[in-house]
Structure 1
Amino acid sequence: MLKNYLTIAVRNIFRNKLFSFVNILGLAFGMCSALVIFLWVNDEIQVDKFHTNINRLYRVMENQHYSDGRLFTFASTPGPMAPYIKEKYPEIEKASRLTWEVNNLFRFDDKSFYEPGRYADPDFIEMFSIPFNAGNSSTALNGKNSIVISKSMAEKYFGDEDVIGKILLMNTKTPFTVTGVFADMPKNSSLQFQYLLPFQYFFDENKSWLDQWGNNNIRTYLMLRTDATINNFSAKLKNEVKLHNEQSNVELFIQPFGDAYLYGDFENGVQAGGRIEYVRIFFIVAVFVLIIACINFMNLSTAQATKRAKEVGLRKVIGAIPHQLFRQFMGESFLTVIIAACLAVLFLIVLLPFFNEITGKALGLNLLDLRIVMIFVAIVFFTAFLAGSYPAFFISEFKPVQVLKGQLKSGNRASVFRRALVTIQFSLSIILIISTAVVFRQMQFMQNRDIGFDRNNVFYAWLDGDVANNLETVRNRLLSLPGIDGVTAASQLPIDIGNSTSNLSWEGKDPEANILFSVLAVDQDFIQTMKMEMIEGRPFDRNLVTDTANYIVNQKAAEKLGFKDEVAGKDLTLWDRKGKIIGVVKDFNFGSLHNPIEPLILRVPRNDFFCLLIRAKQNETEAAIRSAEGIWKEYAPGYPFKYSFLNQDWEEFYKAEGQRGKVFNTLAILSIFISCLGLFGLSAFSAERRTKELGIRKVLGASVPGLVQLMNKEFITLVILSAIIGCPLGWYLMSMWLENYAYHVEVGLITLIVAASVCLTIAVITVSYHSLRVASTNPAKSLRYE
């Protein structure tokens, strides 16, 4: 019996080549897209899950309360906290501080490279699963001048030699002894580094600001004991900072480290999403595309059902029951899905490298991975059941008396169902097109937005060697060289300011006021070099020595300070340094466009600069870079001249979102293609079914354009209905998505019209092919049809 069913299924596939091809191709593309997205989703969900102690690892977070009603959540914590609370609380088994990623220059013999790494406490290696290839993991970071390096870094500097005990020179002056080699961090680790240095070294070098409970600057990670009660411990830890700093507005809480990657966004102290939102979105979109492919199968299978009517009738007459017929046709659907699945795997093998390039992932179809196998099997069964269940049920319910008497009609119910499916299909496609258009426009908006200063033609370099000690000389020499239009120094990049404080006082300040201000240290030429606009007062003046004690604020800060008249000339004290506000600079974006512009204070310190920003003259960037490199070789001879462009860094901030946008584009195009495949098959069936009717109409005088219009009318009506449904839904969903950005485009009526027009145009072209072919056929041939 099984062999008989299989033989019939294969014959049916070859007998209806066009419809089988459309079904299999549509399912293959749908399954391929779903599989690649589910692989991406699986990879995102598995980030950091490889750590053995993942269920006991936590990061310490801060909720900072301010008098203007705002509450900020940060992962930064005080420098002295980790060792202190480890001793204080028995619930903590291990604790480690960890810095942000730092790029240091390392040299061994004639090999010299910048490497990304971090400073960490010795417990860090024991807390996290970092397999060692050489050295003792429990003691590797005990020495102040120890360094633990990755396997790839070891090979880069030492080849196949035994590296334990080797000396690496950091930043041309400080020797570090290699005490361990660890396996390269997996791609699915949120913490990436090529080396670890002892946190004690970093602490001693920066003790002046790091040894204070009032400063929040590094990350703190904890590994709790297995018997620890999380809620009780959190309650005890909550006010720890206030115990050491009475003026503190900080409340501590802990977040499971396993949640940190996906659930990183907080609003008003409450977890409010993060990357998990994109995981959910892409999962839903992948299901959409798969459903669109399944709809094709259901439509074409039910449309072709009348060709199997006599077979079903005869089987029922000789004793077959609906349940047996249902299994037969489900088996045929499953066979089609299996063929499509094999084709989908081939597509995936070809497309996966391109997908990895777009997303920055390293996904692979590892069939030895049980999770990946389960994902693949789940897709196959979901597709087979969804695509095949209704056609199998529909066909198995044919009445044998009607079939054998030739009284079977296609049925209004089946026709209505097909129309509903086509409408759903194109509604989903229109939603994806709207999403793609809005994401693209938002990405363009962010990259091209006027952020309050001119970031074009500006490159920067971090102050290495003796450049910082000779900053004034370097600046003057650079300004005299070809290609250079302006030079300025700052403590941070103007597009990524991370320092903030509430330690300010000013004239008329409410004693209860506690407001957070961002702070940026700049030299006197910063405003002019970055081409910022002054709203009030003046920029810093190099000829006025008093300006080293003065301040410039942005519009948002002026508003928070609450001055009702002129701001310039008012007294302001920052960190016990009293000065005057000499001007108000126009608000500029110095962080993500997801967030509104925050209040900002600009100050001129004596020696708190870390980067040099150089503006090149128009079309003379290469000359400016050569000039800067020549100066660098004089003042930092042991350092390669490493520079970056400010505009490229701004675009890099939104690289991940741009990658997601490209995936959206691909899925939208694919959904339209799959929908049109189904429409192509349905229009072919409709044209075949109405061949004789069109021949008669043509004999009676109907024109070819009129017949094409008649054939197209039904499908065009369905696409228009899809637009009526899809456009409002697309507008609503994308309006919600845009709320994640403080500065964004609007969805707009034009976007909706374009999305609907694209779908309608493609549908008309798809359907018109069959309509025109049949309408142009000689009426004599049409009337002899069947």
Structure 2
Amino acid sequence: MLRNYFIVALRNLIKSKGYSAINIGGLAVGMAVTILIGLWIWDELSFNKYHQNYDRIAQVMQHQTFNGEIGTQVANPAVMAGEIRRKYGSDFKYVLQCSWNFQHTLANGDRKFRRDGSFFEPEAPDMLSLKMIKGSRNGLKDPYTILVSESTAKTLFGNENPLNKTLRVDNKVDVKVTGVYADLPYNTSFRDLTFILPWSLYLIQNPFVEKMENPWGSNFTRTFAQLADNAEMEKVSAKIRNVKFDVVGEDEKKYKAQVFLQPMSKWHLYDDFKNGVNTGGRIQYVWLFGTVGAFVLLLACINFMNLSTARSEKRAREVGVRKAIGSLRQQLVLQFFSESFLVVFIAFLLSLGLVLLALPLFNEIADKKLSLLWSNPFFWLLGLIVCLFTGLIAGSYPALYLSSFKPVKVLKGTFRAGRFASIPRETLVVLQFAVSVILIIGTIVVYQQIEHARNRPVGYNKESLISVGVNEVIHGKFEALRHELKTSNVLVEMTESFSPATAVWNSNGGFNWEGKDPNQAVDFPNNGVTHEFGKVIGWEILQGRDFSREFATDSLAFILNESAVKFIGFKEPIGKVLKWEDKPYIVVGVVKDMLVESPYEPVRAAMFHVSPEQGNVLTMRVNPALAPGVAKERIENTFKKYDPASVFQFDFVDEEFNRKFGEEERIGKLATSFAVLAIFISCLGLFGLASFVAEQRTKEIGIRKVLGASVTNLWQLLSKQFLVLVGISLFIAGPLSWYFMHNWLQHYTYRTSLSWWIFIAAGAGALIITLLTVSFQAIKAALINPVKSLRTE
């Protein structure tokens, strides 16, 4: 019986090739979109699950109150891990201190490469459950050792066995390779960890860490922990809350430090904190795209239902004959469901092909490395569920509707669909375009928000700026390097600083000024720079002057930004004294606020001082008369002259700035893709429906033409119905899209407004697309010779 159902279903599909192609094509696109979104969501939800102890690993973070707000940070004092182990060791299996993940030069003879890596305590490989290919996880117990990833080992040693080979790190120290681990997957927070050096080596290279008078006063390292098997995350997190507060001096207690554990399961999707409260994060996009995927699949199902019910009159006689010769209604229901499942199955196979074709581009847009989960039983189970669900949804209305026809009326020729028979189809068309218009408006708002932030004044000139990391050699030869590059007209100027122009790598407390509340805790981005910093980046002096080598007193001088002046409350800031760690600094200048951190947030109060200490980055303004390639080659050659052992690597400041929009741009591109596909699916259904309506009204069109109706009159007659439906969908989509996008924009402090033109543009676009889709069939029908249309009458 089932075999017969599917044979009949296949014959019906072949008989109506046009409608079958539209049905299968629309469903295939809808299912392909759903699969792509499903793979994206799977990747997001499985982030960091590569690590075997995923549910027991946490990052030690802290809330601190400063500048009147509670700030949340991942940076900790270098003694944090030791203090937690000492007081609460029984609650943890591991508590590990580590450095930030930075680029270092790794050299094997003449082979030199820059790679990202960290200094970690010896138990890190066990905590992260690294898969060792060679050597063992215990290879970090000696200070002068290193573990490298498989790809790094391949790059440095080729096909040689890297074990016990020597690498030179940053041209300062030789270390022995004691292990090679498998490259970490792209969907882990440690994906850029290409090598691990011992924490003990970090302490040897940075002796100031163990000699600090106040080791709790500086937050510059990270701390990770793995709970003991019998410990609970929330209880242990509450227990260590005051581990820092209890040991700091009275002066630092005003920061009200609260230490807590952020579980690895929340690192990726729940990383946003506002005033000490976790407000979510990327999880909002998981819900957003999950909803979009469901709606896109629903649009494809609506097409199937629409076209099936639209063709009900053509299949009425079939139903009548079947019922007359004894078919039961449930048999007819099964027949129509078999057709539905056959279409869905063919569409599913086609959708897998579309996904394979689309994955490379999708991965590029989404910054992912997704692939079809061929060997994952859950993927196939989910695919089966989606097929069953789609088949039931898409086939339910046609099956129940068509099987309800009365055979007597159908066979006597008195069957008519009725004046209200088209209402379900019209309702579904309205729903389709309402969803599509909401997606269009959402996409426009996302891009408008990006452009709103991108066009925000940055307060400096980021063009022709490049940045390079600083090491001890370059720091020691800074003046000679600067002089040569300037005299050769390669650079306009060069500066060294603690933080680059596009980020804050250093902030400080301990500031006092006249009139300050002694109980107020403050923390300001405080960039130590050379005298040329302002000239290099092109900041705008609003009051006072820039730093100058002509003033020896500038070693104890501050330049403030506008926000700092407002926060401190100086009416006449020039000449005012700010005490930092009890040393008096004179304010010599005020600069316009510079957009250094997030372009969606207010600029923080910040200050700048001249520092003789080694900075982290060189910033250079390239001679604009030189071609970028020529300038790069000359700068690289000069750097190699002064530091031949290092690998020259640089970044363009404007490109670094543009990366701040990467997340929103990816979301915008994905939303655009889904909106276009949603419109395509909707138009596909509209095209099929319009062709059926035109076919259904062929004789009416012929009579109207005989009576003198023009092609324009007939085009208006056939198009008006669909334009009215799309107009109704606009009235539904407008308020809903305003509500959704208004709530989305609340995540940004610096945000665009929802302009009226967005809704007008989306509505006009939907109407134009509808006209273009319907007009083809309408004009085609209007041009048919009325003789052919009426010859059977």
Same fold (TM over 0.5): yes
1:418-433 alignment to 2 at 5 Å?
418-433=425-440
The residue number in structure 1 matching 2:499 is: 492
In the other structure, the counterpart of 2:581 is: 575
For the residue of structure 2 that corresponds to 1:466, the secondary structure is helix
Is the deviation greater in 754-763 or in 400-409? 400-409
8 Å contact from structure 2 (residues 498, 505) kept in 1: no
**Partner in structure 1 of residue 268 of structure 2:** 261
Write the distance in 1 (CA, Å) between the matches of 2:538 and 2:303: 57
**Would you say the 8 A contact 2:120–2:196 is kept in 1?**
yes
Change (3 A) 1:498 1:397: farther
- The 5 Å alignment of 1:302-317 reads 302-317=309-324
| Structure 2 unmatched runs, 5+ | none
Other-structure match for 2:176: 177
Question: How far apart in 1 are the matches of 2:535 and 2:787?
Answer: 83
Q: 1:590 aligns with which of 596, 601, 622?
A: 596
Q: Unpaired segments of 5 or more residues in structure 1?
A: none
Instruction: Give, as a single letter, the amino acid of the residue that structure 1 aligns with 2:106.
Output: F
Shift of 1:465: 5.2
| 2:735 paired with 1:736 | no
Report the counterpart of residue 99 of structure 1 in structure 2.
Answer: 99
Q: Which moved more, 1:681-690 or 1:50-59?
A: 50-59
SS of structure 2 residue aligned to 1:107 = strand
Deviation for aligned residue 1:743: 2.7
- Compared CA separation, residues 498 and 381, structure 1 to 2 (3 A): farther
**1:71 paired residue number:** 70
Overall identity of the aligned pairs, in %: 37
Of 608, 613, 620, the match for 1:607: 613
Native 8 Å contact 1:313 1:404 kept in 2: yes
Which deviates further from its counterpart, 460-469 or 582-591? 460-469
Give CA-to-partner distance per residue, 1:347-389, whole Å, 9 cap, x none: 1111111112222222111321123223322322222122111
Moved more, 392-401 or 330-339: 392-401
CA contact (8 A) 1:35 1:379 kept: no
Q: How far apart are residue 666 of structure 1 and its match? A: 1.2
1:293 deviates by 1.0
CA offset digits 1:209-245 (Å, max 9, x no partner): 5751122222211111121143432222001101110
Kindly indicate whether residue 401 of structure 2 is the aligned counterpart of residue 401 of structure 1.
no
1:339-418 → structure 2 map (5 Å cutoff)? 339-418=346-425
Measure, in 1, the Cα distance between the counterparts of 2:311 and 2:395. Answer: 13
Give the match for residue 223 of structure 2: 220
Structure 1 stretch 541-550 or stretch 479-488: which is displaced more?
A: 479-488
For the Cα contact (< 8 Å) 1:462–1:610, is it kept in 2?
yes
Selected match of 2:528 from 521, 524, 528: 521
**Deviations 1:412-447 (Å, cap 9, x if unpaired)?**
444111111111111111111112222223334444
Moved over 6 A (4+): none
Q: How far apart are residue 341 of structure 1 and its match?
A: 0.8
Q: Tell me, in whole angstroms, the C-alpha distance in 2 between the residues paired with 1:734 and 1:722.
A: 18
The reply to whether residue 158 of structure 1 matches residue 157 of structure 2 is yes
Question: What RMSD over aligned residues (CA atoms) do the two structures have, in Å?
Answer: 1.7
The residue that corresponds to 2:235 in the other structure is 232
Note closer, same or farther for the CA distance 1:498–1:398 as it changes in structure 2 (3 Å cut): farther
Q: Which amino acid aligns with 1:327?
A: L
Asked if structure 1 preserves the Cα contact closer than 8 Å seen for 2:490 and 2:635, the reply is no
1:188 shift after superposition: 2.0
- When structure 1 is superposed on structure 2, of 524-533 and 551-560 the one drifting more is 524-533
CA distance in 1, matches of 2:464, 2:163: 45
CA distance in 2, matches of 1:451, 1:291: 44
1:760 to 767, 773, 778: 767
Q: Which string of whole-angstrom CA distances, capped at 9 and with x for unpartnered residues, describes residues 246-278 of structure 1? A: 323210111211221111111222221111111
- Could you say what secondary structure the match of 1:272 adopts? strand
User: TM-score with structure 2 length normalisation?
Assistant: 0.96
Cα separation, 2, equivalents of 1:341 and 1:260 = 35
Q: Residue 231 and residue 317 in structure 1: after superposition, are their counterparts in 2 closer, same or farther (change >3 A)?
A: same
CA–CA distance in 2 between the matches of 1:450 and 1:616? 22
Q: Work out whether residues 324 and 407 of structure 2, in 8 Å CA contact, stay in contact via their aligned partners in 1.
A: yes
Deviation string, structure 1 residues 426-480 (Cα, Å, up to 9, x no partner): 1111111112222223334444543111111111111235221122232233222
Q: Which amino acid aligns with 1:581?
A: V
**Alpha-carbon distance in 1 for matches of 2:387, 2:121:** 48
Q: Which residue identity lines up with residue 124 of structure 2 in the other structure? A: F
Structure 2 distance, partners of 1:693, 1:17, is 25
Query: 1:136 — aligned with what?
Result: 136
Distance of 2:538 and 2:415 partners within structure 1: 79
On the 8 A contact 1:431/1:730 being kept in 2, the answer is yes
1:241 paired to 2:247: no
Q: Contact 2:67–2:523 at 8 Å: present in 1 too?
A: no
**C-alpha distance in structure 2 between counterparts of 1:286 and 1:713, whole Å:** 31
Give the match's secondary structure for 1:241: coil
- Report the 3-state secondary structure (helix = DSSP H, G, I; strand = E; otherwise coil) of the residue aligned with 1:244: coil
**Partners of 1:593 and 1:742 within 8 A in 2:** no
TM-score, L = length of structure 1: 0.97
The 3-state SS of whatever aligns with 1:401 is helix
Which residue pairs with 2:24 in the alignment?
24
Give 1:708 shift.
0.5
> 2:777 is matched with which residue: 760, 767, 770?
770
Amino acid at match of 2:81: A
Distance 2:377 2:583 in 1: 62
Whether contact under 8 Å (1:67, 1:512) holds in the other structure is no
CA distance in 2, matches of 1:513, 1:432: 47
- Preserved contact between residue 29 and residue 344 of structure 1 (Cα < 8 Å): yes
Q: Distance in 2 between matches of 1:432 and 1:154?
A: 46
| Contact 2:56/2:233 (<8 A) preserved | no
Query: CA offset at residue 623 of structure 1?
Result: 4.2
Structure 1 Cα separation of the partners of residues 581 and 378 of structure 2? 54
2:357 aligns to what SS in structure 1? helix
Deviates more, 1:526-535 or 1:665-674: 526-535
2:659 corresponds in structure 1 to 652
Deviation track 1:703-733 (CA, whole Å, cap 9, x = no partner) reads 1101100110000111111122212322332
Q: Conserved in 2, the CA contact under 8 Å of 1:302 and 1:395?
A: yes
